[in-house]
Homo-oligomer: A and B are copies of this chain.
């Protein structure tokens, strides 16, 4: 369909997450009716040799070394930020000033203030934060069940994110372990996903108390964090995130308990949701393990036949598909930079509470 508007994309960054972004740019048109053609125009990074290989493998037309130059180009429509956290703000501010559509990796920023500045600048342009786990089909289905009232009043929201990335003491050399580049450790890297999903599924938090801990002496950032919270809807929240969850690879999940039922999700089994309907006859009440692959489930008209599973990458594809669909219709998209701010406010409260060892009330919007 040559009449479709073409969007020229520049991606800043070429690490592992940039692979997932590139894949989404290629794949979105295969699975979604998108009213845009996407051109993978330029990928920008430091190591030019690696960058050329990356561009070749993932079909980027050009490479570039200087993100400021890229952002200044008139021919580009989208700036996709896939670099360490400390660079999110400068790139986003420049790109917003240049009127670009903004895609940004999570967490949005190093601090709440920085995130707020970015969101203010981003108001003029369509924007997106890659909190991709909202669009695991099973998570979107959980959201649908909650929205339909299948759980009734919510009592408990429990969240966890465990991997084992921090255990090896020699690993702490990457940017993710430097305060100047990452801002935080498990808080920004892991907990940010959990908080975004919690707000998506269960609404805003009212107050919280947190603890954080660094197991490896000399490491600049937190290895693990725990949070107790009250949600605005009256439910209780607990969160735990750690890079010392030996045995777990990418183990993000949640449990939601309500008056009429409860549900649970774990990313290591990402095509399923466990759901207990407490309004059924007592002898049949139990967790059912729903394979979220039917035509009645979110995104499954997009992907494969019933019973055929999807993987990690589809969370990015679905995020992008929804964004482009809404962009064409002029509808707001979530998670936007404003959503990124909402999560950042919680992350900052977590950090503050953990340092001060007290409860922190979150500002209502």
- A residues near B (Cβ < 8 Å) are 1, 16, 19-20, 22-23, 26-27, 29-30, 56-59, 141, 155-156, 158, 160, 162-164, 167, 209-211, 213, 215, 224, 226, 228, 230, 236, 238, 240, 242, 244-251, 257-262, 267-271, 275-278, 281-291, 293-297, 303-314, 357-359
| A230 surroundings in chain B (CB, below 8 A) | 211
Copies of this chain held together in the complex: 4
Pick the contact of A286 from B22, B155, B258, B291 — CB < 8 Å?
Answer: B291
Taking a contact as CB atoms under 8 Å apart, the answer to whether A226 and B236 are in contact is yes
List 9 interface pairs A-B (beta carbons < 8 Å), by A numbering: A19-B304, A20-B304, A30-B57, A158-B160, A209-B209, A251-B307, A285-B294, A287-B288, A310-B312
Of the candidates B164, B262, B267, which one forms a contact with A278 in the assembled complex, judged by CB atoms under 8 Å apart?
B164
The answer to whether A238 and B236 have CB atoms under 8 Å apart is no
Within 8 Å CB of A164, what residues of B? Answer: 278
- Return A51 CB to nearest CB of chain B, in Å: 15
Report yes or no: B308 in contact with A250, Cβ–Cβ below 8 A.
yes
Quick one: given A211-B236, A269-B269, are A247 and B285 in contact (CB under 8 Å)?
yes
For A57, the chain B residues whose CB sits under 8 A away are 29-30
* CA gap between A58 and B288 in the complex, in Å: 36
Q: Which residue of B lies closest to A247 (CB)?
A: B276
Contact at B247–A278, with CB atoms within 8 Å? yes
Query: Which residues in B have their C-beta under 8 angstroms from that of A303?
Result: 311
Give the distance in Å from the alpha carbon of A199 to the alpha carbon of B289 in the complex.
Answer: 29
Contact of A281 among B257, B271, B284, B296 (CB under 8 A): B296
| CB neighbours of A156 from chain B (8 A) | 224, 240, 242, 244-245
Min Cβ gap A167→B in Å is: 7
